[in-house]
Structure 1
Amino acid sequence: MATKLYFLICSTFLFHFTIASRNSPSALTITQNPNFNTTVRNYTHVCHPDRFSDLGLDIKEFAYAIRRFKCDVRVKDLIDRMTLTKNRGNWETTRMGFRESDSQCTWWSEALHGVSNVGQSGSIATYFDDVVPGATSFPTPILTTASFNQSLWKKIGQAVSTEARAMYNLGHAGLTFWSPNINVVRDPRWGRALETPGEDPYVVGEYAVNYVRGLQDVEGTENTTDLNSRPLKVAACCKHYAAYDVDNWLGVDRYHFDARVTEQDMKETFLRPFEMCVKEGDVTSVMCSYNRVNGIPTCSDPKLLKDTIRGEWDLHGYIVSDCDSIQVILDDHKWLDDEPEDAVAQALKAGNSVKMGKVKEAEIDKALKNLYIVLMRLGFFDGSPQFENLSKSHVCSDEHIELATEAARQGIVLLKNDNGTLPLSTKNIKTMAVVGPHANATDAMIGNYAGIPCQYTSPIDGFSKYAKVIYKTGCGDVLCKNESLIYPAVKAAKKADATILVVGLDLTVEAESLDRTDLLLPGYQTQLIQQVATESNGPVILVIMSAGGVDITFAKNNSNIQSILWAGYPGEEGGIGIADVVFGKHAPSGKLPLTWHENDYVDMLPMTSMPLRPIDDLGYPGRTYKFFNGSTVYPFGYGLSYTNFTYKLLSSTKSLHVKLTKFQHCRDLDYTDGSYKPDCPAISIDDLKCGDDDHRVKLELEVKNEGKRDGNEVVMVYWSPPSGIVEAPIVELIGFKRVWVGKGQSQKVDFEFDACKSLGIVDYRGYNLMPSGGGKLVTGDGLLEIPLHIKFER
């Protein structure tokens, strides 16, 4: 029989059977197997009938190979045929229709914002060459999220999985992808902000659900009742679980960091996106992170893994450790002074630990079951006919390149636009100075986990489509340590009808394993901007490429800088995306998914302080827009337009009356001194019949475009809990919709909220409670407040 350990360790996740030519699915090649007296051919999938007949085996005798059986039945048969020992491995795997000598571990691929060649070393799962020279590189998630467009997030996932499946058919990719990254950005210094959907756990969760559905869903099978048999296009992985957002800050790194997190913050912020990813996205995998949480390595924590992901959330898939997390547990965390077998046993329930009595063989069987059921769902054993037609033409298609361009356009955020300077007109602008370290950006636009893009359109290329471009770098690179290149940029600005300054950060400043220590532009970039703005002949437009916020208060207050745009890391077509917004081919509608703090924020608290709520005794401010009430450069959700939208309330739920039974009891809450405290402050949401009409809150708005241009508006609705509750969020985003409104026209926008999901708060004990009293819904940039009273009745 096949060795269980071989397939568990090597295939954590995907063992790979050689396929001669995926360009022609029917093609077979013949090789000689030295361990079995017959010729063996390579097949398009594991359970190809000819594989068994060539081996003199009757496929009907192997339940795992019979497609009409349920996945769990097939997988049980497969695992029951395996043993722990490897003494008869080669002969017996051949008897099963497998050839162990042809197995490869190709389970690690990445698809953060496009198919990437980052992945498993030694036997690379995904790679590019003359056959597949590149794949579409979309904007990094932080910019895509700024569109606040769920359908766009899903559509990008669908495009990425189409390219992944096409590359798999060509033998250039695996089927399991460690994406997306759904960690909440708790601190503005975190180097991996570019990979994430921002600082709001609800937005992060919504992004996760839509992107994962785009990657995984097979059309027509989305609502399959048996989730263990639901077909998959590719397998996604939500990472890094949990409370991971310190990489390398002032000598503190992710391999040694112990995140001290309250139950309140854990449930309310750090776990919420993962819960949504599992429950609503039906993701097939969750990755545990390198760090510890409250002293315990996340990959060894049964409460986080077994009790929560598998038990409470009912994951239909597998849990994977982050790369060498097991070694980190052993060497860096030195957890319980473990031996290697102990670390593996605690994390994966596998390895030599069985012989040493540290774990039962049944635990290995469970782990293998989780792996192989996903393989079955991917069609690895039986093929996926609906995807066999995908080929090279589906990678870097015109449709996908245009989608990447549109994603950049939709995500770009207009931060300043004095006197309606933008959009520029081609009638008035004949010559442009495009200057700055990102003026000719290529690699910088695609961030990390990016692979090789289909092509690049840099900012100077993008603007060249609209006017004659004079290009000067102004800085040698983003670090801008030499001011000698500033003067040529100033001279160029004096000659041009308009000046575009393209500045910001890149992976030398913010990246995996590299956190920031300040929120300023590096080196002489500020000096470059100020001098160019002072001397420019025409209007000055500042474009910031970054993930995290930058303190550009000086530019915000400088009247010589008429307009400011944030472009994130806009992907391979970022240059045309920026130019299209500047010249009005596309009206900006993006909103910031992160708070842009002033630089002194980082002097108020260390990055290693995990609480999100303020700590008054230490003078620590709150984190994220939900708990920080100080001044900012630009707040979360900020973004201007080329037109003007007004909001009008049409109808709303005025009050929510909750009938309590004798089995539902009031829960206490702490209130600030002098605040009104209801007789029944709160009840447990777990005690409510959530989902019925009695717990629905409805809101109908009219959004009117009062300006002279068509445009998209992101309508954001926040919940402000009843006043006086200690440690309640100031406000919390509970819904958003992106709508198109023609000039002079109006659009009705309806929202319906489940009170259990949207109006709850988490108290310091970790209970999810619904508070009573007078709260309010807030929308229209805070200009429209709608009272909502919650009352409990016996």
Structure 2
Amino acid sequence: MRNLKSLIEQMTLEEKAGLCSGDSFWRTKAIERLDIPAINLSDGPHGLRAQGEDQDHLGVNESKPATCFPTAAGLASSWSVALLEQLGAALGDEAQAEGLHVVLGPGANIKRSPLCGRNFEYFSEDPLLSSHLAAAHIRGTQSRGVGSSLKHFAANNQEHRRMSVDARVDERTLREIYLASFEYAVKETQPWTVMCAYNRLNGEYCSEHRRLLTDILRNEWGFEGYVVSDWAAVNERVAGLAAGMELEMPASGGERDAQIVAAVQNGQLEEAVLDVAVERLLRITFKAVDARLENASFDAEDHHQLARRIARESMVLLQNDGTLPLSNEHRVAVIGEFAERPRYQGGGSSHVNATRVEPLLEALETRGASFDYTKGFEIDRDAPDRQLEQKAAQRARDADVAVLCLGLPDRHESEGYDRTHLNLPANQLALIEAVTAAQPNTVVVLANGAPIVMPWAGQVSAILEGYLGGQAVGAALADLLYGEVSPSGKLAETFPQRLEDNPVHLNFPGEGDVVRYGEGIFVGYRYHDTQDVAPLFPFGHGLSYSRFDYANLTLSDDTFSGDGRLTVSLDVTNSGDCEASEIVQLYLSDQTQTVPVAAQALRGFDRVTLAPGATARVEMTLARRDFCWYDAERADWRLPTGAFEVRIGASSRDIRLSRSIEVHVDETPLPAIGRNTLLGDLQTHEGAARVLREHLADLAEELPMLNSLMDKGGDNDLMDAMGRYLPLRALISFSSFTEARLDALLKDLKALA
């Protein structure tokens, strides 16, 4: 057991400052005289990008071969904690084999807009789903003695001007949506590092945001690791160190180290603050080195098959009129260059040099399918090609079924920039028209990292969303198209009918360097369900080759006080004729209307696999936090009193079962007391209402608006409303109430606190 404090005492000021930045693009500094080793970091949310000497951060230069798993957009559609943990463990095994100590990922940022160019690397628009999947990913990787770096903290929801933009987010929205996407993962798994984002948050760069990095991340959530900057995210190094950002990456050529030294020498920075940072860095460094396995290796073929299984359990059958699954007797026209040159991952820093790539054409040949292939369009250009379309239409006409392999080329979505529309390229739209005119049985297979609009959906028989399915994408698609397994993925994000239907449309990407989160908590399905804006495909949607029935919903109690847990149970039956998996979703609807809330919010989920005819009893639990909203004024989570509804659905728009429950809180929190406190707010607190009645009883005749307060009833809506929204100071203007009496009332009200 190393004595870190003793080790720090032996270090020079320059050595301590030097540990706070990298030695190269992916490697930290070593101090040989004190036997302090360096550790190696690597990109890798869905596959490692280990580089040799020719290093970069954006995937321009080649990296060592590694398994390319599906990206987060697809992974999240599995809704499978077990699968994410297996993927994390595989990444850990490959990292051990490559001598890597920390893998940069997963990314838990919320999908605020479908236009964000990096959405393929993020899980969901919902914080509960995102944080639980991120936790599983981290747990798997760290089980292999390799650290995770949860990123990008926080409110990094666009690529446009990402290194300078200021995300203006109100406190309630920040807590309920954007921080909640990280919170569970931090608390449950203790990632070795957290990566701070490029952007500013409410005026301060995340790299020097003390409230974010220290007050919330460490003091509230109990984070024990260290914070690393996103590459080149540092604005002011000394301010960042003081705020709680320990490691700057990549190397700064000694410039920033000298700034830290100077700040300590001139008294701007206490050396004790630097010592704390160094201790955190050393703790993880030695933890990583001690966990290093000599002669570690991994089986590339086993990992390829794992990538195949994960991909097929993540893909989403959006639409099907019975054309799928196909059989070997079908004569199939496979159309679209993606069948030959699959797009299986996103662009930018997460780009993986796959150990092998298995296109759909190869997989179809392996299974002996009867098919004919034609290109249909060119991936590298968007302009329609009439000759290719005519050839595709003829092949489709001669077949029983046409399978159109479509999607977004690399240049349409990537780290570094956002999309400007949700359409497929023009040549693919023209191809759809030509093929569907020739063949009514047309299946569309999609390769994309984020939602697209589909004005053509009514023209096709089936739509299989493959997302960016990793290196085994072709085999996974073949498994699903031919019914080797039933599709089981469900959307982790809403597909809007039009870009304009997205709730952030008027607030994305912002003006200059400011983006206002004017939609508040109403992101994704929270907006669509609350405003009843019909999506193209809703959050949680996904079809199967089987059918599932839900029944016998029970709650462990019909009231809830905030203590303990509430158990929600139901039966799920596979009523079809093939084994399949179902993702059961639990939504909670706050009907108290204490504050503006979404119509419903995801509060639990479970994935079950059932043989034909089998029934499983599914149990999920709800805790106090699930019923709460965040009160920014009190900086605390508030549990409202009143009616809630527990809803069980196959998607946010397919609610199968529901039960009501009453929440009873012993005491409503006392509102902030002052001259401008409203009478109506005080009435919600039993003690405050009593004090009001005592002080204002003699004013009932002068002010009919006090009838409801005095329990005399009121039949005048105008008077009742005026009474509810009357500030205490206004009593002086409307009655014989005096300043002296107001002071006495405020004193008695404050005494209740």
TM-score range, shorter chain: 0.7 to 0.9
What CA deviation, in whole Å up to 9, does each residue of 1:135-167 have, x standing for no partner?
Answer: 111100110110111000001100110111012
* Aligned equivalent of 1:362: 272
1 CA distance for matches of 2:508 and 2:101? 36
* Aligned equivalent of 2:294: 388
For residue 711 of structure 1, the aligned residue among 580, 605, 612 is 580
Per the TM alignment, residue 548 of structure 1 is displaced from its structure 2 partner at its CA by 1.3
Cα separation, partners in 2 of 1:641 and 1:305, compared to 1, 3 Å = same
For residue 698 of structure 1, the aligned residue among 560, 567, 571 is 567
2 CA distance for matches of 1:613 and 1:654? 38
For residue 455 of structure 1, the aligned residue among 351, 356, 361 is 356
Equivalence map 1:201-600=2 (5 Å): 201-217=127-143, 233-248=145-160, 253-326=161-234, 329=235, 348=245, 350-378=260-288, 380=289, 382=290, 384=292, 387-391=293-297, 394-396=298-300, 398-418=301-321, 420-426=322-328, 428-429=329-330, 431-442=331-342, 444-445=344-345, 448=348, 449-464=350-365, 465-477=367-379, 479-484=381-386, 485-536=388-439, 539-555=441-457, 557-558=458-459, 561-599=460-498, 600=500
Note the residue ranges of structure 2 that are not aligned, 5 or more in a row: 19-29, 247-259, 668-753
Equivalence map 1:45-64=2 (5 Å): none
Contact 1:592 1:638 in 2 (8 A): yes
The answer as to 2:47 corresponding to 1:114 is yes
Equivalence map 1:30-41=2 (5 Å): none
2 CA distance for matches of 1:119 and 1:290? 26
Give secondary structure in 2 for the equivalent of 1:695.
Answer: coil
2 CA distance for matches of 1:422 and 1:288? 44
Amino acid at match of 1:388: E
What CA deviation, in whole Å up to 9, does each residue of 1:381-406 have, x standing for no partner?
Answer: x564xx33522xx141x321111000
1 CA distance for matches of 2:332 and 2:302? 30
Per the TM alignment, residue 481 of structure 1 is displaced from its structure 2 partner at its CA by 1.9
Per the TM alignment, residue 286 of structure 1 is displaced from its structure 2 partner at its CA by 0.9
The answer as to 2:89 corresponding to 1:158 is yes
The answer as to 2:629 corresponding to 1:758 is no
Equivalence map 1:69-108=2 (5 Å): 69=1, 71=2, 74-85=3-14, 99=32, 107-108=40-41
Cα separation, partners in 2 of 1:494 and 1:447, compared to 1, 3 Å = farther
Amino acid at match of 2:327: S
Scaled by the length of structure 1, the TM-score of the pair is: 0.74
Cα separation, partners in 2 of 1:633 and 1:650, compared to 1, 3 Å = closer
Scaled by the length of structure 2, the TM-score of the pair is: 0.78
Cα separation, partners in 2 of 1:728 and 1:192, compared to 1, 3 Å = same
1 CA distance for matches of 2:52 and 2:501? 36
Cα separation, partners in 2 of 1:351 and 1:320, compared to 1, 3 Å = farther
2 CA distance for matches of 1:652 and 1:348? 45
Amino acid at match of 1:390: A
Cα separation, partners in 2 of 1:748 and 1:611, compared to 1, 3 Å = farther
Per the TM alignment, residue 579 of structure 1 is displaced from its structure 2 partner at its CA by 1.0
2 CA distance for matches of 1:455 and 1:353? 50
Give secondary structure in 1 for the equivalent of 2:43.
Answer: coil
* Aligned equivalent of 1:790: 663
CA root-mean-square deviation: 2.9
Amino acid at match of 2:351: A
Per the TM alignment, residue 284 of structure 1 is displaced from its structure 2 partner at its CA by 1.1
Per the TM alignment, residue 726 of structure 1 is displaced from its structure 2 partner at its CA by 3.5
Per the TM alignment, residue 133 of structure 1 is displaced from its structure 2 partner at its CA by 5.5
Per the TM alignment, residue 443 of structure 1 is displaced from its structure 2 partner at its CA by 5.0
* Aligned equivalent of 2:124: 198
Per the TM alignment, residue 344 of structure 1 is displaced from its structure 2 partner at its CA by 6.4
Per the TM alignment, residue 476 of structure 1 is displaced from its structure 2 partner at its CA by 1.3
Contact 1:416 1:565 in 2 (8 A): yes
Per the TM alignment, residue 764 of structure 1 is displaced from its structure 2 partner at its CA by 5.5
* Aligned equivalent of 1:40: none
Cα separation, partners in 2 of 1:351 and 1:212, compared to 1, 3 Å = farther
Contact 2:343 2:410 in 1 (8 A): no
Cα separation, partners in 2 of 1:519 and 1:100, compared to 1, 3 Å = farther
Contact 2:384 2:430 in 1 (8 A): no
Tell me the number of residue pairs that the alignment of Structure 1 and Structure 2 aligns: 625
Amino acid at match of 2:185: C
1 CA distance for matches of 2:238 and 2:576? 67
1 CA distance for matches of 2:343 and 2:320? 28
Contact 1:446 1:570 in 2 (8 A): no
2 CA distance for matches of 1:612 and 1:125? 28
What CA deviation, in whole Å up to 9, does each residue of 1:33-56 have, x standing for no partner?
Answer: xxxxxxxxxxxxxxxxxxxxxxxx
What CA deviation, in whole Å up to 9, does each residue of 1:344-366 have, x standing for no partner?
Answer: 66675734322232212222211
Cα separation, partners in 2 of 1:357 and 1:751, compared to 1, 3 Å = same
Amino acid at match of 2:569: E
Contact 1:423 1:581 in 2 (8 A): yes
What CA deviation, in whole Å up to 9, does each residue of 1:687-713 have, x standing for no partner?
Answer: x6xxxxx43111111111122222111
Per the TM alignment, residue 471 of structure 1 is displaced from its structure 2 partner at its CA by 2.1
Contact 1:181 1:240 in 2 (8 A): yes
1 CA distance for matches of 2:35 and 2:286? 19
Give secondary structure in 1 for the equivalent of 2:577.
Answer: coil
Equivalence map 1:645-660=2 (5 Å): 645-658=548-561
Give secondary structure in 2 for the equivalent of 1:243.
Answer: coil
Contact 1:186 1:612 in 2 (8 A): no
Give secondary structure in 2 for the equivalent of 1:543.
Answer: strand
Cα separation, partners in 2 of 1:643 and 1:367, compared to 1, 3 Å = same
Contact 1:157 1:215 in 2 (8 A): yes
Cα separation, partners in 2 of 1:288 and 1:86, compared to 1, 3 Å = closer
Note the residue ranges of structure 1 that are not aligned, 5 or more in a row: 1-68, 90-96, 169-173, 219-232, 331-339, 616-620, 659-687, 689-693
Amino acid at match of 2:5: K
What CA deviation, in whole Å up to 9, does each residue of 1:326-382 have, x standing for no partner?
Answer: 2xx26xxxxxxxxx766666675734322232212222211111111012212x1x5
Contact 1:543 1:565 in 2 (8 A): yes
Per the TM alignment, residue 421 of structure 1 is displaced from its structure 2 partner at its CA by 1.5
Contact 1:141 1:196 in 2 (8 A): yes
Give secondary structure in 2 for the equivalent of 1:183.
Answer: coil
Amino acid at match of 1:473: K
1 CA distance for matches of 2:240 and 2:566? 48
Contact 2:343 2:447 in 1 (8 A): no
Give secondary structure in 2 for the equivalent of 1:206.
Answer: helix
What CA deviation, in whole Å up to 9, does each residue of 1:473-520 have, x standing for no partner?
Answer: 222116522323322222221222321111111331111111111111
- Identity, % of aligned pairs? 29
2 CA distance for matches of 1:508 and 1:772? 51
1 CA distance for matches of 2:527 and 2:632? 15
Cα separation, partners in 2 of 1:268 and 1:735, compared to 1, 3 Å = same
Contact 1:242 1:288 in 2 (8 A): yes
Give secondary structure in 2 for the equivalent of 1:565.
Answer: strand
Give secondary structure in 2 for the equivalent of 1:236.
Answer: strand
2 CA distance for matches of 1:650 and 1:604? 38
Contact 2:39 2:285 in 1 (8 A): no
Amino acid at match of 2:482: F
2 CA distance for matches of 1:119 and 1:637? 41
1 CA distance for matches of 2:56 and 2:326? 50
